[in-house]
Homo-oligomer: A and B are copies of this chain.
C-alpha cells in the first residue's frame, strides 16, 4: 500500500506511487482534480484545504469520488451538472456554503447569470418561495463577489442579470399554462389539474397559471433544462414521489434521454445521499418500463 496521493487536495503528492495505486486511485484523483479545477475556475483549488486539515480522507473522497468518479462521467454536460446541483441544493435549502460554491461553479463552466436566476425562480414551484428567495440571496452574494473581485469574466452589474418579463393578462396565463402543461407533461398534466377540480380547484388553477403559465413559460432556461432541474429538486427533496414520476416522463417528452436521467440521479448521490439517488432510480425504472410497455 502506498500513501494517499494527497494529504491536502490543493497539493497532490507526486511521491512514488506504485503502479497499482496510480491505476487505482491516482487516476481518479487526477481526474477529479481536473474536474474540480473546471468548477472552481482555478488551477489549484483550495476549497478543500480546511477539510483536509481535520479529515484528509473526506477531502480525498470529495475529489476522487465526487469529481473523479461522478462529475467526470459522460452523460451530462458540465453546464447540466451544475444546474442540476444548484437546483438540488436550492430545493434542500440547508447547505448555503455549497449552494454558493456551485452557483459560482455553474458560472465557471459557462452557465449564465440568467440561467442561475431562472433556476432560483423555478425553485418556487418545487420547494416554495422561502427556498427560492434564499437561493437568490446566495446568487446575489456570488454575483457581487465576482463583480467586486474585478476578475469577473462577465462584468455586467448583478442588477442587470434578468430583465423583468412582460406581464400577461390572467386569461392568457391560464391558456398559456394549460398549453404548456400539455406539451410538457402529456395527458398526465391536465389530469392532475382535473383531479383537483372537486376538492381544491384553486390549487389546480395555480398549478396552471403560476407553475406553468408564469414559471415554465419563461424564457432564459430551455424546457429540457427546466425539467432537468425539476427532476433534481424532486429527487433531492425525496418527498415528491408522484411529481418526480410526472417530471421523469416530461423530461423524456421534451427531448431528454434516459442516459441523462440516470447520470443525473447518480450525481445526486453525492449531493443528497445514496438513498435519494436509489429512490430516484426506482422511480425511473417504473417510468422506463411503462414507456417500454406502451411502445
**Chain A interface residues (CB < 8 Å from chain B):** 1-5, 7, 20-21, 23-25, 28, 50-51, 53-58, 60-62, 65-66, 69-70, 73, 89, 91-95, 97-98, 117, 120-121, 124-134, 136-137, 139-140, 143, 158-159, 161-173, 192, 196, 199-200, 202-203, 206-207, 209-211, 214-215, 218, 234, 237-240, 242-243, 262, 265-266, 268-279, 281-282, 284-285, 288
Instruction: Find chain B residues with CB under 8 A from A5 CB.
Output: 167
The residue of chain B having its C-beta at the shortest distance from the C-beta of A113 within the complex is B54
Q: Assuming the A-B contacts A169-B20, A262-B200, A265-B203, are A240 and B54 also in contact, with contact meaning beta carbons closer than 8 angstroms in the complex? A: no
A126 to B237, CA, bound (A): 13
Q: Assuming the A-B contacts A125-B274, A164-B7, A269-B128, are A23 and B54 also in contact, with contact meaning beta carbons closer than 8 angstroms in the complex? A: no
Instruction: Find chain B residues with CB under 8 A from A274 CB.
Output: 125-126, 206-207, 211, 243
Smallest distance from the beta carbon of A167 to chain B beta carbons, Å? Answer: 4
Closest 6 CB pairs of A and B: A24-B169, A238-B239, A240-B275, A95-B130, A98-B130, A56-B164
Q: Which residue among A20, A133, A137, A242 has the maximum number of chain B CB atoms within 10 Å of its CB?
A: A133
- Asked if residues B203 and A269 are in contact (CB atoms below 8 Å), the reply is yes
- Asked if residues A271 and B130 are in contact (CB atoms below 8 Å), the reply is yes
Q: Assuming the A-B contacts A54-B159, A162-B55, A164-B56, are A203 and B132 also in contact, with contact meaning beta carbons closer than 8 angstroms in the complex? A: no
Instruction: Find chain B residues with CB under 8 A from A60 CB.
Output: 164, 167
Q: Assuming the A-B contacts A3-B166, A56-B162, A199-B284, are A206 and B89 also in contact, with contact meaning beta carbons closer than 8 angstroms in the complex? A: no
Instruction: Find chain B residues with CB under 8 A from A169 CB.
Output: 20-21, 23-25
A121 to B65, CA, bound (A): 13
20 new A-B contacts at CB < 8 Å, known A202-B262, A239-B279:
A5-B167, A24-B173, A51-B136, A54-B136, A61-B121, A95-B131, A97-B137, A127-B273, A128-B270, A128-B271, A128-B273, A196-B281, A199-B284, A200-B266, A200-B281, A206-B269, A237-B273, A237-B275, A239-B275, A242-B279
- Asked if residues A58 and B124 are in contact (CB atoms below 8 Å), the reply is yes
- 8 Å CB contact of A94 from B1, B70, B131: B131
- Asked if residues A126 and B275 are in contact (CB atoms below 8 Å), the reply is yes
Q: Which residue among A55, A133, A161 has the maximum number of chain B CB atoms within 10 Å of its CB?
A: A55
Instruction: Find chain B residues with CB under 8 A from A167 CB.
Output: 1-5, 21, 24-25, 60
Instruction: Find chain B residues with CB under 8 A from A143 CB.
Output: 54
Instruction: Find chain B residues with CB under 8 A from A97 CB.
Output: 130, 133-134, 137
A2 to B167, CA, bound (A): 7
- 8 Å CB contact of A262 from B98, B139, B203, B268: B203
- Asked if residues A276 and B239 are in contact (CB atoms below 8 Å), the reply is yes
Instruction: Find chain B residues with CB under 8 A from A266 CB.
Output: 200, 202-203, 206
